[in-house]
Amino acid sequence: MTVDSRWWEQPVLIGRHVRLEPLTLEHAEGLHAAGEDPEIWRWLSWRQPADLAGTRKIIESGVADRERGVRLPWAQIDQRTGEVAGTTSFYEIVPAHGGIAIGYTWIGAPWQRTALNTEAKLLLLGRAFETLGAHRVTWHTDINNHRSQQAITRLGALREGVHRHHRVRPDGSLRDTVTFSMIAEEWPGARARLSERLTR
């Protein structure tokens, strides 16, 4: 079976409100500033970095994942100000089955529930379904992270179920994970709703 190498390519994705560019150490200072609110880190798989060196370690982990073909991390850049707003990734990349996941996502408080966040998802979903020909996009989130679950639902994804004791949180507790998905047949309707939301 021929492997489609495009699934591991990571182009810059450009919209009106956000630019997604491959995450590098050059984004460290901006990313550290965007993540200053402790609430951002409450349900993430990492603890909030105490200093810039800690943020660099998180970025280095993402870069290493990219080099190993495990994950493609992007920096989310505010097109208006040029500020780093957060980060997001493709992972669980399985071209043979047309599957990909969106996650490792967070944005700073000023950009939450904004056009930047909506457009970032629109760009990623468009690449997954329209460029790569994905059959399915998946999201995973902590069962206690209700804000994330609501945001994923607003994208048009469907809740599929719960993986019990799926991961270990940074504090050592066991996390149940809620899984959502969108399939290719659902993408045109979701695209129309997200595009309409951007015009409001």
pLDDT reported for residue 2: 59
E-assigned strands of the chain?
A: 13-14, 18-22, 71-78, 84-94, 99-107, 136-142, 158-168, 174-183
Q: What is the CATH number of the domain that holds 20?
A: 3.40.630.30
pLDDT reported for residue 34: 98
pLDDT reported for residue 109: 94
Burial class for 163, CB neighbours closer than 10 Å (0-12, 13-18, 19+): middle
pLDDT reported for residue 200: 78
Write the pLDDT tens digit of every residue in 139-150.
Answer: 999 999 999 999
pLDDT reported for residue 3: 63
- Token output for 82: 């040029």
For the chain, the domain total comes to 1
- Token output for 120: 């970032």
For residue 2, give the amino acid letter.
Answer: T
Write the pLDDT tens digit of every residue in 114-156.
Answer: 999 999 999 999 999 999 999 999 999 999 999 999 999 999 9
Tell me the C-alpha distance between 170 and 46, whole Å. Answer: 6
Tell me the C-alpha distance between 74 and 20, whole Å. Answer: 6
Write down the pTM of the prediction.
0.95
- Token output for 165: 């004791």
pLDDT reported for residue 199: 87
Domain hosting residue 75, numbered range: 5-199
Write the pLDDT tens digit of every residue in 142-199.
Answer: 999 999 999 999 999 999 999 999 999 999 999 999 999 999 999 999 999 999 999 8
CA separation (Å) from 8 to 5, 95, 106, 110, 168? 6, 9, 22, 31, 27
pLDDT reported for residue 113: 87
Write the pLDDT tens digit of every residue in 68-119.
Answer: 999 999 999 999 999 999 999 999 999 999 999 999 999 999 999 899 999 9
Q: List strands edge to edge, sheet with 174-183.
A: 13-14, 18-22, 71-78, 84-94, 99-107, 136-142, 174-183, 158-168
